[in-house]
Chain A
């Protein structure tokens, strides 16, 4: 079984400031790692994923996350946030190779203020 801990339930930041959303996981087997974003009254959108290979993964809208196996972490970062980044962010893991059970963290509400 695996579990995910998102260390901050709420992160308020000012526009154009950097941000880091922290995610730690626990699993007895190898995992795939994901960040999903959920805007109000919408479904989940995949932001980025780590399946294998390079431990640094990037999204098209400026977010990046780094898989750190020794620290069992997959923190999400953005060097400069926009008002439009305000949303709920979920870190999630699933087991290699089946991926059949996606386990979510409790979520982090990112609020970007002008």
Chain B
């Protein structure tokens, strides 16, 4: 298995809703990432997990809450989002330091906040 799987592919949520994005990989990668991508822009790093521990938080608002339950799963919990949070949310994974070979990205979740 050489893929990163993201669900759902599309999500529409209201500003008072709580929802979660899910990311799964079975490549044995020990680093996992969340990126946010607005239209016509490059992806922006949000969070990095290394060996299931949060190692980087790029000053992301608390309405985004990441979780790494185990080495294969990465969640992004969403609460009280704003319309400007509408974007493509990408998950990625990579091998640990010393065996690094680059990132593998999922196909993303297209989020619309109404």
Whether B100 pairs with A44 at a CB distance below 8 angstroms is no
Contacts of A102 in B (CB 8 A): 33, 45, 92, 103
Q: Could you tell me if A101 and B48 are in contact, using CB atoms closer than 8 angstroms?
A: yes
Contact indicator B56/A43 (Cβ below 8 Å): no
Interface size class of B (residues with CB under 8 A): 20 to 34
| Contact segment of A19-27, A45-53, A63-71, A78-86 | A45-53
- In the bound complex, do residue A46 and residue B110 qualify as a contact, i.e. CB atoms below 8 Å apart? no
Say yes or no for A74: interface residue by CB 8 A criterion.
no
For the A-B complex, the count of residue pairs with Cβ-Cβ distances under 8 Å equals: 64
Residues of B within 8 A of A44 (CB): 43, 90, 92, 105
Q: Say yes or no for B31: interface residue by CB 8 A criterion.
A: yes
- Minimal Cβ-Cβ distance residue in A for B40: A107
Q: Residue A61 at the B interface, CB < 8 A?
A: no
Q: Which residues of B contact A36 (CB under 8 A)?
A: 105
Select from chain A the residue with minimum beta-carbon distance to B91. A43
Counting CB contacts under 8 A, is A98 at the interface? yes
CB contacts (< 8 Å) of B102 on chain A: these are 32, 34, 46, 49, 51, 99
Q: In the complex, are the beta carbons of B45 and A43 less than 8 A apart?
A: no
A10-44 interface with B by 8 A CB criterion: 32, 34, 36, 41-44
B69 within 8 Å of A (CB atoms): no
Contact A49 B101 (CB under 8 A): yes
Is A106 in contact with chain B by the CB < 8 A criterion? yes
Point out residues on A near B: beta carbons under 8 Å.
32, 34, 36, 41-46, 49, 51, 90, 94, 97-102, 104-107
Chain B residues in contact with chain A, CB under 8 A? 6, 31, 33, 40-43, 45, 48, 50, 55-56, 88, 90, 92, 94, 97-98, 100-108, 110
